[in-house]
Structure 1
Amino acid sequence: MKEAAKGYVKHLESGGKMMVALGGAMSTAELGISLAEMIRQDKVHAISCTGANLEEDIFNLVAHDYYKRIPHYRELSVDEEVALYENHLNRVTDTCIPEEEAMRRIERAILKEWIEADQKKQRFFPHEFLWKVLQSGKLEPFYQIDPKDSWVLAALEKKVFIVVPGWEDSTLGNIFAAHCLLGHIHDPLTVKTGIEYMMALAQYYQETTKKHSLGLFQIGGGISGDFPICVVPMLHQDMQLENIPLWGYFCQISDATTSYGSYSGASPNEKITWGKLAKETPKFMIESDATIVAPLIFAYVLES
């Protein structure tokens, strides 16, 4: 962990830029408290996140006081789980997200943006729709945490580049599909797709690496990390472009068991064979709890 933190600082000091990939339930774990400051201090320049992490930062922003902690979550009986369901409390490990105060409140606000764009035949990325809601000020009366602790707000302020692969499987993605099926939204392509996110990422990667080495700091496993790291072999191998720099730094925090055949559990060296990392790329695999490790590394970077 210490070497990964030092490597992060060295990458930035040498003129590099950093993308953070957010998997797991890091927004509900309130990573925004430290990630937002990392964004404000130009220690994070791009973000790849799951749809859940995108929306759950805003759920926490407007419904924090309604969240329910379940410290004994490992001991819950099936009947206790049913009771949480009947009270519209959606559990993420030891924290329950309240449906009405979080999900439905955001649904009401973002649905207006979706319908308006649909009627005007306009199209935006998932994060751009959330930014529109935040910029409108509609949610400000409902803020229940200090806005400086929201990483999505910080990203909006700094105009950080964001990709949200697989947004369709998020709560808001499900809600959007439901409104398409109900006929409230006529064109499902009103929300731009993951393929378009990859195309935007390809442009961002090429422009950024003309002057800066780009690193990937990956929290958790899955699509939020696999999606962005694949942009390099796509540009080089699939598009046959020359002089595409490989990622200049790589760190993954994961509790996945090291294994071959899975992305999350593969060792960083396996990525060399895919044309993602170079032999000399600083590579770190931290097998631990990201809710503990990530804030510690961010604290180190912020103090350096």
Structure 2
Amino acid sequence: FFSSLWVYMSARFRRCKACHQVKAIADFHCNSSFTCQSCPESPTDLAASDVFAADVAWHPHSAGKVTDGRCFGKPAQVPKRQEDNTVKDREWKEQHESQSQEQEANERKEQVYKQRKEREEREEREDRERKEQEERERNEREKRERKEQEENERKEKEDRQMRELQDMKREEYATAANAVVEGGGSQEEVGAESRSHTEKDYAEKCCKQVHMDIPEDEHTHFKMKTVAIVVAAAGAIVVAIVVVIVGAIVVTIMNAIIAACAVALGVAIAIAMAAALAIALPLAGVLAAVLAVIAAPALAVAGAIAIGVN
């Protein structure tokens, strides 16, 4: 076993005579070299003689030095290897430069595409904003023109009604005057009849003008505001009475915590009534209703607490 191991180790490893380190055969200059590749070959171990002169010319690692001549491997073509390395380095450099130029070209193309994309998006956004602005201005202009047209139509309608009314009044004046004249009345009676019709017409005109100044919707809203205030006051009184009674009963029968819950429930009901009135009534009526309905539960809370404490 040890013999076989020694043969195996001798065939695979060798001690360098220059640095005295045991290294693998592949780490030496050649199979018959006595120095490793880390150390230069030297003929110090062998004497120069004519016997080895023929080996000096072709030995790949001799570099003009005498060797033992026992290197049976094929001589390495060192100049050829150096030339191949130079060609490979030049090709790699050219390829690297080509890749760098291609990468720079791609980056420039990407930058140009990005700039064009941003410019297109900016132009599209500006175009969209301009169209939206034009649409808003057109809508406002149409709304204003429609409002002016409705106002003009309303004025024309009022003027036409006023002219028709004046025509009717003139016909009535003429008919009354003719009746007085045909009945044998004097000029003073005709003048009195004309003045009475004139005063009546003036009163009707003033009354009609006042009603025309206030739109029909405002009349309806005014009525609804009045109804809202009355309903809010009545609802507030009812809620206050119910909350006071319920709070007093609960405080008397149970404890203050449940009474507080009952009072909170009453306040919630009052606020819900106020919200319902806010949805159903105009703004001024809503304000009065909210104030009345929220003030009543506050008074109810005070009354319930006073009754509970007593």
TM-score for the superposition, normalised by structure 1? 0.17
The structure carrying a bigger strand percent of its residues is 1
What is the TM-score when the length of structure 2 is the normalising length? 0.16
Bigger share in helix? 2
